[in-house]
Structure 1
Amino acid sequence: MSGSEMVTLRPRRIRVVCWASAVALVVTFSLLATGLQGPTGNGYGTFQRGDGFAMIGLGLIGAVAILLFTRPRVQADAWGIRVRNIIGSYELPWEVVRGVRFDRGAPWASVELHDDDLLPVVALQAADKDRAVEGVRALRRLHQAHQSTPVGP
């Protein structure tokens, strides 16, 4: 294993689902906005042009919120591991990492630290099956390579 190996992992299924959902949400809100303009005839009021723009704006805000779930990523190299989750990022050298875990039934992998903390790695999701398992194995190889490297002169 070369010292310059870089591993970059992102979830696959959640990105597809999120992009499809975001597009569907914007299209739905846009269709609702155009369909509700003008008098409704039932005496309860009307939707104006500004209301339609507000509906489209709500659809866009919802789509951006959904797309936050495409943010997770993990990068690792000989130095350490960088984890970006939906909210929050961590950059850790391998010295503070005890191991990489993917417990049975867990929705995603986690990094176990020497102080007994568990850091979730949302980029490695159980829904990605074999791809997630290969990602965990790659992270474990990098961690193991760092542990076997002699320290000091």
Structure 2
Amino acid sequence: MSTPAEFPVTWAPRRTRAVLLPVCVVLVVLFAVIAVALPANWQFNDRIMMVLSGVLFASVGLMLARPRVSADAEGVTVVNFVRSRRLAWAEIVGVNFRQGDPWATLDLADGTSLAAVGIQPGVGRNQAIADARALRDLVARHGG
């Protein structure tokens, strides 16, 4: 497998995003329609809460669609479900993606590891392996 030739490079579970983003829109629209269609004895506050429930469920879907790993000449940005972290190339000492792992992990110079949820078998196991190898090759080429 060859490494990406040009920066920036981004790895993300695109199929997951392609499914989740429309589902989030449908959730908000569905809950809004339900809020309008509720019987007359439901109060305005109940209708608002119904719409807000749809927004809350959609927010969770958007959070699940966030993960990605981006590399550029200066380093790597890992965006996971809630947090994102910027790493210089020298901070990454290894990339692991073992059989059965839910996503790749980065071994860091400070002895810790960081989940790279953007590289996951949800895109297809072979594609995830190729992505992890490409990132590993970039780390070997640009690391400290």
Specify if TM > 0.5: yes
Instruction: Give 1:88 shift.
Output: 1.3
Larger radius of gyration: 1
Instruction: Give 1:108 shift.
Output: 0.8
* RMSD of equivalent CA atoms: 2.4
Q: Structure 1 residues 2, 50: CA separation in 2 closer, same or farther (over 3 Å shift)?
A: closer
Q: Deviations over 1:23-49 (max 9, x none)?
A: 3322331232223231xxxxxxx2134
Question: What TM-score comes out, normalization by structure 2 length?
Answer: 0.82
Aligned residue for 2:30, secondary structure, equals helix
Distance in 2 separating the partners of 1:115 and 1:142 = 19
Matched, 1:91 2:86: yes
Distance in 1 separating the partners of 2:30 and 2:73 = 47
2:30 aligned residue:
28
List runs of 5+ in structure 1 lacking aligned partners. 39-45
Aligned residue for 1:124, secondary structure, equals coil
Equivalent residues of 2:4, 2:134 under 8 A apart: no
Matched, 1:123 2:118: yes
Matched, 1:136 2:138: no
**Equivalenced residues, count:** 141
List runs of 5+ in structure 2 lacking aligned partners. none
Q: Deviations over 1:69-100 (max 9, x none)?
A: 12222111343211111111111122221111
Distance in 1 separating the partners of 2:67 and 2:60 = 14
- Name the % identity: 37
Name segments (4+ residues, structure 1) moved above 3 Å: 1-5
1, 5, 8: which one aligns with 2:7? 5
Superposed counterparts of 1:21-100, under 5 Å: 21-38=23-40, 46-100=41-95
